[in-house]
Amino acid sequence: MKKSWVFKSSIFIGVFLLILSACGTNNGNDQVRVAEVTRSIFYAPQYVALSEGIFEKHGIDVELTTTWGGDKTMTTLLSNGADIALVGSETSIYVYAQGTDDPVINFAQLTQTDGTFLVSREKVDHFAWEDLKGSTFLGQRKGGMPQMAGEYVLKQKGIDPQNDLNLIQNIDFANISSAFASGNGDYVQLFEPTASVFEEQGVGYIVASFGKESGKIPYTSYMAKDSYLTKNADVAERFTAALYEAQLWVDTHSSEEIAKSIEPFFQDTDLELITTVVDRYKSQHSFATNPTLDQEEWDNLQNIMDEAGELPKRVDYSKLVDNSYAEEAQQ
Query: What is the per-residue pLDDT for 11?
Result: 42
Domain that holds residue 228: 10-113+217-330
- Regarding whether 192 and 240 lie in a shared domain, the answer is no
pTM for the whole structure: 0.85
The residue type of 86 is L
Instruction: Mark which of 162, 185, 214 sits at the end of a domain.
Output: 214
Pairing type for strands 84-87 and 220-225 reads: antiparallel
Whether residue 2 lies inside any domain: the answer is no
Amino acid 172: pLDDT: 87
Same domain for 90 and 147, yes or no, is: no
Domain boundary among the residues 214, 229, 251 is at 214
Residue 237 lies in a domain: yes
Residue 26 lies in a domain: yes
The region that residue 325 occupies, defined by phi over 0 for left and psi between -120 and 50 for alpha, beta otherwise, is alpha
pLDDT digits (tens, 9 = 90+) for 255-297: 999 999 999 999 999 999 999 999 999 999 999 999 999 999 9
Q: What is the pLDDT of residue 76?
A: 98
**Residue 102 located in a structural domain:** yes
| Segments of the chain scoring below 70 in pLDDT | 1-26
- One domain, residues 139 and 127: yes
Q: Are residues 227 and 304 in the same domain?
A: yes
The one-character DSSP state at 36 is E
Which of 100, 80, 4, 102 is CA-nearest to residue 35? 80
CATH code for position 236: 3.40.190.10
126 in the same domain as 86: no
Work out the burial of residue 285: count CB atoms within 10 Å of its CB; fewer than 13 is exposed, 13-18 middle, 19 or more buried.
middle
Residue 1 placed within a domain = no
User: So what's the pLDDT on residue 140?
Assistant: 87
